[in-house]
Structure 1
Amino acid sequence: MSLFVGLDVGTQSVKLVAYDPQARRIVATHGQPLELIAGNDGSREQHAQWWIDAIRSCFARLDPALRTRVAAIGVSGQQHGFVPVDRDGNVLAPAKLWCDTSTSAECDEIMSAVGGARRSVELAGNPILAGYTASKLPWTRKHRPEVYAKLASILLPHDYVNFWLTGERWMEYGDASGTGWLDVRTRTWSRDMLAATDARTDLSAMLPPLVEADSSVFISRAIAEELGLPRDVRVAAGGGDNMMAAIGTGNVANGVLTMSLGTSGTLFAHADRPVVDEDAGWAAFCSSTGGWLPLICTMNCTVATENVAKLFGFSTRDGDAVMAGTTPGADGLVMLPFFNGERTPDLPNARASLSGMDMGNLTRGNMYRAAMEGATYALRNGFDALQAKGLSFDSIRLTGGGSQSAAWRQMVADVFDLPVQVPEQAEGAAFGAALQALWAHSRATGAASDIAAIAREHVGVDESASAKPQADAVAAYATHYRQFLRHLGSAQQLYGPASSATAPR
Structure 2
Amino acid sequence: MGSRRVAGVDSSTQSTKVVVVDAGSGELVHSAAARHPEVSEVWPQRWWEALGEAGGRSITGARALSITSQQHTTILLDRRNEVLRPAILWNDLRAMASGADLVRELGPDRWLRSPGLLPDSAHPVSKLRWLREHEPETAAQVETVLLPHDWLTWSLLGRVAQPSTDRSDASSTGYWSIAGGDYDDDLLRHSFGRAVLTPEVLPPDAPAGASAQGLLIGAGCGDNAATHLALATDVGDMVISVGTSATVSMRTTGPVLDPTGRVDTMADARSGAIPIIAMLNGARVLVATASMLGITPVRLDKLAARAEPTAGGAVMLPYLDGERNPPREERHGALLGLSRPALTPEMIARAAVLGLACAIADAADALSRVAGEPRRILLVGGGAKSRALRQALVDLTGRTIHTAPEREHAAFGAARQAAWVLTGTLPRWPLGLSPHHPSESSGAWAVDVRAAHRAAGLGRPAGPAANSS
Counterpart in 1 of 2:190?
Answer: 196
AA in 2 matched with 1:309:
A
8 Å Cα contact 2:19/2:28 also seen in 1: yes
Name the structure with the higher helix share. Answer: 1
AA in 1 matched with 2:143:
A
Choose the corresponding residue for 2:326, options 326, 333, 345: 345
AA in 1 matched with 2:75:
V
4+ aligned runs moved over 6 Å, structure 1: none
Q: Percent identity?
A: 27
Counterpart in 1 of 2:399?
Answer: 418
TM-fit CA distance, 1:154: 0.4
Counterpart in 2 of 1:68?
Answer: 60
* Unaligned stretches of 5+ residues in structure 2: none
Choose the corresponding residue for 2:76, options 79, 84, 95: 84
Q: For residues 358 and 496 of structure 1, do their structure 2 counterparts lie closer, same or farther at Cα, with a shift above 3 Å needed?
A: farther
Choose the corresponding residue for 1:485, options 454, 457, 463: 454
Tell me, what secondary structure is at the counterpart of 1:110?
helix
Say what the alpha-carbon RMSD is for the aligned residues. 2.2
Take 1:215 and 1:119, find their aligned partners in 2: how far apart are those partners? 31
Counterpart in 2 of 1:41?
Answer: none
Take 1:500 and 1:376, find their aligned partners in 2: how far apart are those partners? 27
AA in 1 matched with 2:18:
L
Take 1:290 and 1:81, find their aligned partners in 2: how far apart are those partners? 23
8 Å Cα contact 2:48/2:152 also seen in 1: yes
* Unaligned stretches of 5+ residues in structure 1: 38-43, 222-230, 444-448
8 Å Cα contact 2:121/2:127 also seen in 1: no
AA in 2 matched with 1:306:
V
Take 1:135 and 1:284, find their aligned partners in 2: how far apart are those partners? 16
Compare 70-79 and 273-282 and name the one that shifted more.
Answer: 273-282
Does residue 397 in structure 1 map to residue 378 in structure 2?
Answer: yes
1:341-369, CA deviations, whole angstroms, 9 ceiling, x for partnerless residues?
A: 22222333462111112233223332232
Q: For residues 54 and 377 of structure 1, do their structure 2 counterparts lie closer, same or farther at Cα, with a shift above 3 Å needed?
A: same
Between Structure 1 and Structure 2, how many residues are aligned?
464
Choose the corresponding residue for 2:270, options 279, 286, 289: 289
Q: For residues 9 and 146 of structure 1, do their structure 2 counterparts lie closer, same or farther at Cα, with a shift above 3 Å needed?
A: same
1:234-265, CA deviations, whole angstroms, 9 ceiling, x for partnerless residues?
A: 111111111101111121x2121111011111
TM-score, normalised via structure 2 length? 0.93
1:79-478 to 2 correspondences below 5 Å: 79-114=71-106, 116-166=107-157, 167=159, 168=161, 169-199=163-193, 201-203=194-196, 206-221=197-212, 231-251=213-233, 253-349=234-330, 351-389=332-370, 391-443=372-424, 449=425, 451=426, 454=427, 457-463=428-434, 466-478=435-447
AA in 2 matched with 1:245:
T
AA in 2 matched with 1:344:
N
Take 2:65 and 2:208, find their aligned partners in 1: how far apart are those partners? 10
8 Å Cα contact 2:5/2:63 also seen in 1: yes
Counterpart in 1 of 2:51?
Answer: 55
8 Å Cα contact 1:117/1:128 also seen in 2: no
Take 2:6 and 2:444, find their aligned partners in 1: how far apart are those partners? 45
1:443-473, CA deviations, whole angstroms, 9 ceiling, x for partnerless residues?
A: 2xxxxx2x3xx2xx2041243xx31111312
Take 1:14 and 1:71, find their aligned partners in 2: how far apart are those partners? 20
Q: For residues 20 and 406 of structure 1, do their structure 2 counterparts lie closer, same or farther at Cα, with a shift above 3 Å needed?
A: same
Tell me, what secondary structure is at the counterpart of 2:55?
helix
Q: For residues 413 and 280 of structure 1, do their structure 2 counterparts lie closer, same or farther at Cα, with a shift above 3 Å needed?
A: same
AA in 2 matched with 1:119:
R
AA in 2 matched with 1:202:
A
8 Å Cα contact 1:258/1:397 also seen in 2: yes
Compare 334-343 and 344-353 and name the one that shifted more.
Answer: 344-353
Q: For residues 324 and 233 of structure 1, do their structure 2 counterparts lie closer, same or farther at Cα, with a shift above 3 Å needed?
A: same
AA in 1 matched with 2:437:
K
Take 1:210 and 1:497, find their aligned partners in 2: how far apart are those partners? 30
TM-score, normalised via structure 1 length? 0.86
Q: For residues 433 and 333 of structure 1, do their structure 2 counterparts lie closer, same or farther at Cα, with a shift above 3 Å needed?
A: same
